[in-house]
Amino acid sequence: MKQILQSLKTGDIELAEVPVPRVKPGALLIQTRRTLISLGTERMLLNFGKAGWIDKARQQPDKVKQVLQKVKTDGLMPTVNAVFNKLDQPLTLGYSNAGKVIAVGEGVFGYKVGDRVVSNGNHAEFVCVSQHLCARIPDNVSSTSACFTVVAAIGLQGIRLINPSLGESVAVMGLGLIGLLSCQILQANGCRVIGFDFDHQKVELARSYGIEAFDLAQGDNPVDLAMNFSYGNGVDAVLITAATTSNDPIQQAPQMCRKR
């Protein structure tokens, strides 16, 4: 079968010919119909792979600490060899897959061969995924629409933590795919939603879905915008879905929230 793999050492991506995985106990073997490209995550991995050694270290300071600790316990050369072996292993890309079940592992319940399912499988013709990371696709939902499920579930988890009520106002900082899907879920939940981003195209796309969105590249202060949106009271919650190294969203979020 064909599968997309990336070299962490060079950043190169290839369409590789690899063996079809065997179905495991508690898992489903799925023939892929659609997979979703997660622009933020996969671009980050691509940039990381193409970065030099120093930039790789800067991007993952926690891993650097682990390497230094391993040097202390295992010695320099074993650690160097372990790092190079890790970088030599190809990385599988993709985590939002829609397809058809072609085999059911021992101990699986609730699924059968022929079911259409969404899972966190990779960009590959066939994937083996735990039944706990799969969900059946309704008949009236296309595979193209269904493959957005895993990404939407990331935003949904944040919304569950917020636990918003009907009529409450929520600010979403970052209008990429996760942010935009989160806005729509919040709207469906009866919330008033305001969104922020620095990308004008993303802002316009959000507005096309009825979201009150603002382009922060124009110099507006998101705290002031959120306060105006909430009639001076402050929003009930803030969901941060922005891909940034800046601390601004973390610092601005409590400033735009109302006092409970």
What does each of the 260 residues of the chain score in pLDDT, given as a tens digit?
999 998 877 778 889 999 999 999 999 999 999 999 987 777 776 766 665 656 655 666 676 667 667 666 777 677 666 665 666 678 889 999 999 999 999 999 999 999 999 999 999 999 999 999 999 999 999 999 999 999 999 999 999 999 999 999 999 999 999 999 999 999 999 999 999 999 999 999 999 999 999 999 999 999 999 999 999 999 999 999 998 888 999 999 999 999 87
CATH architecture observed for domain 2-147: Alpha-Beta Complex (3.90)
How far is 121 from 123, CA to CA, in rounded Å? 7
Helix (H) and strand (E) counts for the chain? 10, 12
Q: Is 134 helix (H, G, I), strand (E, B) or coil?
A: strand
Q: Could you state, in order of their start, the residue ranges of all structural domains in the chain? A: 2-147, 151-255
pTM for the whole thing?
Answer: 0.80
Instruction: Render 172-217 in DSSP notation, one character per residue.
Output: EE--SHHHHHHHHHHHHTT-EEEEEES-HHHHHHHHHTT-EEEEGG
Instruction: Tell me if 35 sits within 8 A of 94, measured CB to CB.
Output: yes
3-class state of residue 237 by DSSP: strand
Please report which residue ranges of 89-148 form alpha helices under DSSP H.
Answer: 143-146
Q: What CATH number should be reported for the domain whose range is 151-255? A: 3.40.50.720
